[in-house]
Amino acid sequence: MRALSATLVVLSLTACGKGSKSGPPAAPPAAAHPTPAAPAEYTVIIKSTWTKTTHPFEYPSGAHFSGMIGASHNAKYSIFAVGRRPTPGLERLSEEGKHSPLDTEIRTAIDQGNALMLFESGGLKNWKDSMVATVRVDPAHSLVDVVNMVAPSPDWFTGATNVNLDENGAWVARKTLTLPAYDSGGDNGKTYKAPDRDTNPKKPTTRAAAARDHPL
């Protein structure tokens, strides 16, 4: 078994205070937990670190990533969590790289007030390129999730969940994270090129590890 870490995400603050012109800023709460007073905008950049040199174990031909899809949100919503069964949207993203129906799930969370914004990009095949998107956060939605499919793979994805851009009451200027690969729990395969074998009920999401292909 080999653990995978496949991508790097960089979140950089690009603008602060957008949308705050509609009225005077609210007085800061006297609560013990301060939050940034105004919305902010970040650039999300995902770069691949998944190469034959860094991850030689059964490195597959045709390695690529689906486009990223993510959301800014509050504590009542997240795209994924280790130990939780995947939603249909996460399962489809992890198996086929499709942003639907995960985009519908995020839009439902937006309608319910638990997510602020959906962001997405096209896929990545050339590791010299990056995937880039823009996300807005506000005081009530300071958490960011992002996911993208690892391909080829049965149901693996990389991503980050509950990345809090509010650090000690201020928007952090920049955050860089190395993203591990996860097994969404929607399929049974254990190798990059394992055939699709749907699993029901779905298994909880875990960290992914490539295993040697055992002949039947």
State which residue, 129 or 198, has the beta carbon closest to Ca ion.
Answer: 198
Q: Which stretch binds Ca ion (CB under 5 A): 2-10, 41-49, 71-79, 195-203?
A: 195-203
Q: Could you say whether residue 197 binds Ca ion (CB under 5 A)?
A: no
Reading the block at residue 112, the tokens are: 């319910």
Torsion sign, CA atoms 141, 119, 174, 55: positive
Q: Could you say whether residue 183 binds Ca ion (CB under 5 A)?
A: no
Residue of 110, 187, 189, 208 that binds Ca ion (CB under 5 A): 187
Neighbours of 169 (CB within 10 A): 11
Q: Which stretch binds Ca ion (CB under 5 A): 80-88, 117-125, 126-134, 193-201?
A: 193-201
Q: Could you say whether residue 186 binds Ca ion (CB under 5 A)?
A: yes
Q: Could you say whether residue 167 binds Ca ion (CB under 5 A)?
A: no
Helices (H), 35-149: 88-96, 102-111
Torsion sign, CA atoms 162, 168, 169, 173: negative
Q: Which stretch binds Ca ion (CB under 5 A): 28-36, 77-85, 171-179, 180-188?
A: 180-188
Reading the block at residue 17, the tokens are: 């205070």
- Pair 205, 182: CB distance under 8 Å: yes
State which residue, 39 or 186, has the beta carbon closest to Ca ion.
Answer: 186
Q: Which residues in this chain contact Ca ion in the complex, by CB under 5 A?
A: 186-187, 198
